[in-house]
Homo-oligomer: A and B are copies of this chain.
């Protein structure tokens, strides 16, 4: 018998097997809009209400529903509700500039936009048929309806979400993820990380990132408790772990470092020692960070590698019995690799040194961009754009990002996009945007600029120029004026030459 694989399965099981349990704890710091603690039964009711709301608005199955909001219980209820009703969620990075959000809303064809109260003003000008600000005002229409959605037949290859990535070009691309993609990602993710009905998870990673890496699905399947965190700070993360008995959380290396800093000044035993596992992804964590997670926090560190285009999980590095006899520093070296392919994923390196993957978690393609899809998926293999190696143990290490992407605090920034923005300034003749090491964010954005003869511009002015047009995290934190930029014989910028001086002494350079 074939039954369409669908993300309905996850919340369905939570509701029917763990209905009475606390399923989701909303952020308490915003009492005016917080839902507090919800049982899985109540969460499922609100997700269904949202599906019925879409139908009542005339949003047909397959239509897109955009969301630009911080982590919240409503975000997760909208994710479940949209996908389960056969509509397509378009998660948008809440840090993007209004112009960027508008582009994604238009490009995806979304007729519904859900926005965080904090973004209500900045996103007020976006034209869209139905715009809702999350909060008590819109709850009766969205999340507290009495009508139930008609349960339509789903196809496992139909889209569940459409996730925009900054990618390598100036315009974000829409990654089409199907129900089958997400089902298999959530199931292999859940198994490999050992999610059980005794887990409690803290949503530190912004849920727009690949649908929170698929965790809302994996966790619901096993009835695990989910706790929403709106703003990640090291101290607040430790507090929540303590308060809710958190056993699992995720974050970029910068988040891990923030927790380690907070732990130094923490009064009393570190919460979660011996019981918590931390999933780290977004960039390779420094070996020292891995070692400190184990020795200073007493947590298990699990490294993941993947991309929005792979749902995201394709490799995992988790402490195995073979590492038990190693000292923490030696073990950290082993754990600093991106990891081994997870079940069902084939991951290897092609003749150009690029990491390629073949798996059921690879996207269907890019939305309305066949050329980009054809360039990314060639003869059944997805090209990650990352350079890497596969060692004798079958483990992948990412050694080089082929795509010109800077990863700062877990966010991908397209150098080209920032260069395009700077090029629109009249004083600029040439520009190269690179990532340079940063203690807090791993990397930070730097612009190297050659001005037009006779024209002037200050560092502050150029940064302000970007801030008017781009999300703040994409903007250069420093600008250096140059008289020329290193180029190849054919005139291409030699970014590795430009970057090299800044990375002296940084062994974890991935550039």
Contacts and interface: CB of A to CB of B under 8 A. Distances in A.
Contact of A363 (B1, B197, B359): B1
Q: Which of A344, A359, A377, A394 has the most chain B CB atoms closer than 10 A to its own CB? A: A344
Contacts of A180: 2
A67 B415 CA distance: 60
A157 B364 contact: no
A5 B196 CA distance: 24
A506 interface: no
A1 B359 contact: yes
A213 interface: no
B197 A320 contact: yes
Given A13-B341, A341-B17, A1 B362 contact: yes
Given A3-B360, A362-B1, A187 B191 contact: yes
A10 B343 contact: yes
B16 A321 contact: no
- Chain copies in the assembly? 2
Contact of A1 (B187, B197, B360): B360
A21 B414 CA distance: 42
A359 B346 CA distance: 27
Contacts of A2: 157, 180, 360
B194 A17 contact: no
A362 B187 CA distance: 18
Contacts of A187: 187-188, 191, 343
B394 A16 contact: yes
A235 B251 CA distance: 48
A163 to B, nearest CB: 15
Contact of A380 (B1, B9, B157, B346): B1
Interface string A350-382: 000000001110111000000000000100101
A19 interface: yes
A16 B190 CA distance: 21
A92 interface: no
A343 B223 CA distance: 11
A393 B394 CA distance: 44
Contacts of A358: 1, 3
A344 B3 contact: yes
Interface string A381-394: 01000000000011
Interface string A182-193: 000001101100
A321 B197 CA distance: 8
A9 B191 contact: no
Interface string A7-24: 001101100110100000
Interface string A328-357: 000000000000111110100000000000
A433 interface: no
Contacts of A492: none
A359 B183 CA distance: 14
Contacts of A9: 343-344
A50 to B, nearest CB: 22
Nearest to A6: B344
B13 A343 contact: yes
A191 to B, nearest CB: 4
A439 B362 CA distance: 53
Contact of A340 (B17, B321, B393): B17
Nearest to A9: B344
A221 interface: yes
A344 B179 CA distance: 13
Interface in A192-232: 194-198, 221, 223
A32 to B, nearest CB: 32
24 contacts: A1-B359, A1-B363, A1-B382, A2-B157, A2-B180, A3-B358, A3-B380, A9-B343, A10-B343, A12-B346, A13-B341, A13-B343, A16-B340, A16-B341, A17-B393, A17-B394, A19-B394, A187-B191, A190-B191, A191-B191, A197-B320, A197-B321, A198-B320, A221-B343
Interface of A: 1-3, 5, 9-10, 12-13, 16-17, 19, 157, 180, 187-188, 190-191, 194-198, 221, 223, 320-321, 340-344, 346, 358-360, 362-364, 377, 380, 382, 393-394
Given A1-B377, A16-B394, A187-B343, 16 more contacts: A1-B358, A1-B382, A2-B157, A3-B344, A9-B343, A12-B346, A13-B343, A16-B340, A16-B341, A17-B341, A19-B394, A187-B187, A194-B196, A197-B320, A198-B320, A198-B321
